Chains A and B, each alone.
Chain A
Amino acid sequence: MKADPRGVLTGIHFMDGDHACCEGALAAGARFAAGYPITPSTEVVERFASRVPTVGGTFIQMEDELAASITLQGAVWGGAKAFTVTSGPGFSLMMEHIGYAVMTETPCVFVDVQRGGPSTGLPTLPAQSDMFQARWGSHGDYEIIALCPNSPQECFDLTIKAFNLAEEFRVPVMFMMDEVVGHMTEKVVIPPADQIDVTPRRHTHKSFEDYLPYGTNGDQVPEMAHAGEGYKFHVTGLTHDERGYPNMTPQVQDKLVRRLQSKIRDAADRIALFEEEQIEGADVVVISYGITSRVAQRAIEAARDQGLCVGKLRLITAWPFPEQKIRELAANVKAFVVPELNLGQMVREVERAAAGQAKTFAVSHAGGGVHNPNDILKVIVEASR
C-alpha cells in the first residue's frame, strides 16, 4: 500500500540524518514513538514530538530507555507502527526488550545513532562499534535485521525500508546510524506519498475461533491481531506454543526458536541490500557501511588512480549478514579490506564467510572521528600485493 500523505513531507529539503530519519518514520506510517534523550539521537524524537501532534499520533518521553523500549511495543499491540531512538548506553539498556520483541514477534524499529563507546565514551562523536551488539546484544538465540544508512537521504529512504521489513517479518529492526550521518546536513528529497510503498501490518482475517496468535500458514510469520478487537489472545515472553500459551518444554522451544531464526535466515537473500561497484575482475574488494563507506570511496578512487583493481561492496543490510555473497566473492578476489569505526566487528563476519578463500584486512579505528582515507588506501595497497 501507499504512504499516508498526512505523514509525508513531500519536497526537497536540506536536513540532517536525524531529522530525515524522523521523516522516514512518519512517511512509513509510524504514529507512535517513545524515547529517552541521548546524544546524538535525540533530534529524531524531538522532531517527532514536534511533528506528530499535527499529523495525528503520540510521542511520549519515558523515564528511561527500559521504559521507552517496551512502551513502544505496547503501542504496537494497540495498533500503531512504533519506534524508539537511542545511542550506545541506551541501546544497552534496551537489550532485554529487543529480545522481548523478537520472542513476541512485535514489529518495530530501534534506531541506534552510534557514538564512541564503551560506556559513556564519546557522546558527540561517531563510532560503529555497536554492530555486533545489534546482532547479539540480547540473551538467547535470535535473529534481527539491521540497516546502515550512509547519508541523510538514506536515513529517510531506509527508515521506511526498516518499518516495512519489521512488518513483513514481525521482527524488531535495528537502524544503525552513526553520529556523522545523523548530524550531517544534505539534500533530502521526499517524494509524494503515492510514490512511497509501505508494508501494512500482517493482520489476521481469521475468526476468533480459528485464530492462533503464533500459528503459521506455511510461511514462517504468523498473522497478528491487536488488543481490543475481540481475539482475546495471550502474548508472553516465555517459550510458547501456537496458542501463545507458555509451554516450557524442549520440543516447543526447539520449534519456536528455530522458526524465529529461520524466518529471517531463510529470507536472507531477499533481505540483503548492498551496493556494488566494479566487483567484476577486482583483486581487492573494500567492504564498508555507514559513514565509513563515504570515506572509503575516496580511498578506493585513489587506489584505482594508482592502477589497482579495487571493487566496492557497501553493506546496506548488515544483518542478516550477506554470507552467500561474500563466499562467492571470496572465490574470485585476492582480498577484502574492511574499514570500520571500531576495532574489528563486521570484518569478523567477512573473514568467517570468506573461509580462507581470500585474505581479510581490517582497517580499525577506535572511534571519535572518521578514518583518514590514506589509512584505508595504505591497506588497499598492501592487500593488493
Chain B
Amino acid sequence: MSDSLLSDILNNDGVNPVEQFLRSDRIPHIWCPGCGIGTTVNSFARALIESKIDLQSLALVSGIGCTGRVAGYVQLDSFHTTHGRAIPFATGLKLANPKLNVVVYSGDGDLSAIGGNHLIHAARRNIDLKVICVNNLIYAMTGGQTAPTTPDDSITSTNPYGVFEPSFNLPQLVEAAGAVYVARWTTFHVRQLARSIGEAFQKKGFSFIEVISPCPTLYQRRNKLGDGLDAMKYYKEKSKVRHGAPTSEVGLTMTGEIVVGKFVDRDRPDYQTLMRGQFAESLGERFVEQTEMVCS
C-alpha cells in the first residue's frame, strides 16, 4: 500500500525537526560525505527540543576547524571565534550576561591543543559552560595533521611515518582539571548523546561531552580504515558503555575498544556562585551585584 492512499496527519507538518535550528539558507554545508559533525548537530537539536530550553537565551560559540563551522549553520546567536579561544570568549559572554546559556561547540584540535590552556582553566574555575568536543582524532580542516588526540601509529600529514606521541585522554584531562560533568559518546550513539547534552543543560558548572566522530577524507582514508560508514560500524562494534568508569581507563587507540558513557557527574559551586559568595562575604552591603550589563 503506498503512502498516498493513507490520509495522514503528520506530527510536524512534514518538516525535519532539526530544520528549525538550522540556517537553511546555508545548507548544504561544507562537511564531507560520511563526516559525523552533522550527526552531532542532530543530537544537539534533539537535546534542545527535549529540554525545552529558551532558544533566545542560548548562545553558541565555536573555534576554528571543521567542527567550528557548526556556529555558522545553527539558527542561534552564534559566534565563530579564533582558533582555540572559543572558551574564553564564551566566558566573557557568560560573565557579562549570566542569564545566557552558553554552549561551546568545537573540535579536538581547537579545544585541546591551541585551546588547551583555556580548557583546563575554565574547568578549574568551573565556568558554567556546556562544551561539546567533536573529536575526529585529527586536524581535519587544514588537511589532516596530527592532533593531541590522534592515536599512536596513525598516519597523518605531519607524521607521515606514523604518530609516536602519546595522545590525550580528554575525559581524564578535564576531570582532573575540575569539570563537573564529563561524558563521551560516538556519532553512533545519537540518542545517548542527545540525552547527555540535555543533562549538561541541567548542570551548573563546566560540562564536557566528547563525541568521537569520523573524518573519512583524512583520518579514515590515510589509515586505510574505510569511509565514514566503516567508522560508524567500528564505533557500534567496539564501543562499550561503562558509566562511571575511571577516566584514566578510557584512553583511545586506533582500532581498540572505545569506552563511552557518563564518567563524571558531580557538584561543585560554579565560578559565578563562588564570585558572588566571596564578594558578599568580604564586602557585605557594599557589594553591588552585577546583573545584566546591557549598556545603551
Interface positions of A (Cβ within 8 A of B)? 1, 6, 29, 31-32, 34, 52-58, 60, 62-64, 66-68, 70-82, 96-97, 100, 200-201, 203, 226-238, 245-246
Known: A62-B121, A67-B91, A230-B56. 13 other contacts (CB 8 A): A52-B290, A53-B283, A55-B288, A56-B290, A58-B95, A67-B118, A75-B293, A78-B293, A80-B293, A96-B82, A232-B55, A232-B78, A234-B23
Contact: A70 with B82, CB < 8 Å?
yes
Contact: A227 with B118, CB < 8 Å?
no
Contact: B92 with A72, CB < 8 Å?
yes
CB distance from A316 to the nearest CB of B (A): 25
Contact: B80 with A82, CB < 8 Å?
no
- Map CB proximity to A onto B125-159 as digits: 1 under 8 Å, 0 otherwise: 00000000000000000000000000000000000
CB distance from A147 to the nearest CB of B (A): 20
- Map CB proximity to A onto B47-61 as digits: 1 under 8 Å, 0 otherwise: 000000001110101
- The CA of A230 and the CA of B82, in the complex, are separated in Å by 24
A-B contact pairs, 21 of them (CB 8 A): A31-B290, A32-B95, A34-B88, A52-B290, A54-B286, A66-B88, A67-B85, A70-B85, A70-B89, A71-B88, A72-B92, A74-B79, A74-B90, A77-B92, A79-B295, A203-B296, A227-B59, A227-B100, A228-B100, A236-B71, A238-B80
The 5 closest A-B pairs by CB, nearest first: A74-B92, A78-B96, A236-B80, A80-B293, A67-B88
Contact: B82 with A97, CB < 8 Å?
yes
Which residue of the partner chain B has the closest CB to A236? B80
CB distance from A270 to the nearest CB of B (A): 23
| B292 within 8 Å of A (CB atoms) | yes
Report which of A70, A200, A201 forms a contact with B88, defined as CB distance below 8 A. A70
* Residues in A neighbouring B90, C-beta threshold 8 A: 74
CB distance from B19 to the nearest CB of A (A): 14
* Residues in B neighbouring A203, C-beta threshold 8 A: 296
Contact: B61 with A201, CB < 8 Å?
no
Contact: A227 with B93, CB < 8 Å?
yes
Contact: B95 with A75, CB < 8 Å?
yes
Contact: B295 with A60, CB < 8 Å?
no
* Residues in A neighbouring B92, C-beta threshold 8 A: 32, 34, 70-78, 82
Most B-side CB within 10 Å, residue of A52, A71, A79, A237 = A71
- The CA of A104 and the CA of B236, in the complex, are separated in Å by 42
* Residues in A neighbouring B59, C-beta threshold 8 A: 227-228
Contact: B77 with A231, CB < 8 Å?
yes
Tell whether A74 pairs with B96 under 8 Å between CB atoms, given A62-B88, A67-B88, A100-B82.
yes
* Residues in A neighbouring B295, C-beta threshold 8 A: 29, 31, 79-81, 200-201
Contact: B121 with A63, CB < 8 Å?
yes
| B163 within 8 Å of A (CB atoms) | no
| B94 within 8 Å of A (CB atoms) | yes
- The CA of A228 and the CA of B291, in the complex, are separated in Å by 14
- The CA of A135 and the CA of B76, in the complex, are separated in Å by 34
- Map CB proximity to A onto B238-262 as digits: 1 under 8 Å, 0 otherwise: 0000000000000000000000000
Contact: B288 with A53, CB < 8 Å?
yes
Report which of B77, B78, B293 forms a contact with A31, defined as CB distance below 8 A. B293
| B237 within 8 Å of A (CB atoms) | no
* Residues in A neighbouring B292, C-beta threshold 8 A: 79
Contact: A227 with B77, CB < 8 Å?
yes
* Residues in B neighbouring A245, C-beta threshold 8 A: 23, 26, 72
For residues 69 through 87 of chain B, which have their beta carbon under 8 Å from a beta carbon of chain A?
71-72, 75-82, 84-85
- The CA of A34 and the CA of B275, in the complex, are separated in Å by 15
Contact: A232 with B85, CB < 8 Å?
no
Which residue of the partner chain B has the closest CB to A200? B296
Which residue of the partner chain A has the closest CB to B99? A228
Contact: B72 with A74, CB < 8 Å?
no
Contact: B296 with A228, CB < 8 Å?
no
* Residues in B neighbouring A67, C-beta threshold 8 A: 85, 88, 91, 117-118, 121
- The CA of A77 and the CA of B76, in the complex, are separated in Å by 14
Most B-side CB within 10 Å, residue of A73, A74, A80, A233 = A74
Tell whether A79 pairs with B293 under 8 Å between CB atoms, given A58-B95, A71-B91, A74-B93.
yes
Contact: A228 with B56, CB < 8 Å?
yes
| B8 within 8 Å of A (CB atoms) | no
CB distance from A355 to the nearest CB of B (A): 38
Contact: B296 with A201, CB < 8 Å?
yes
Report which of B82, B94, B294 forms a contact with A237, defined as CB distance below 8 A. B82
Which residue of the partner chain A has the closest CB to B96? A78
Which residue of the partner chain B has the closest CB to A57? B290
- The CA of A53 and the CA of B276, in the complex, are separated in Å by 9
Contact: A56 with B288, CB < 8 Å?
yes
Tell whether A100 pairs with B293 under 8 Å between CB atoms, given A74-B96, A79-B97.
no
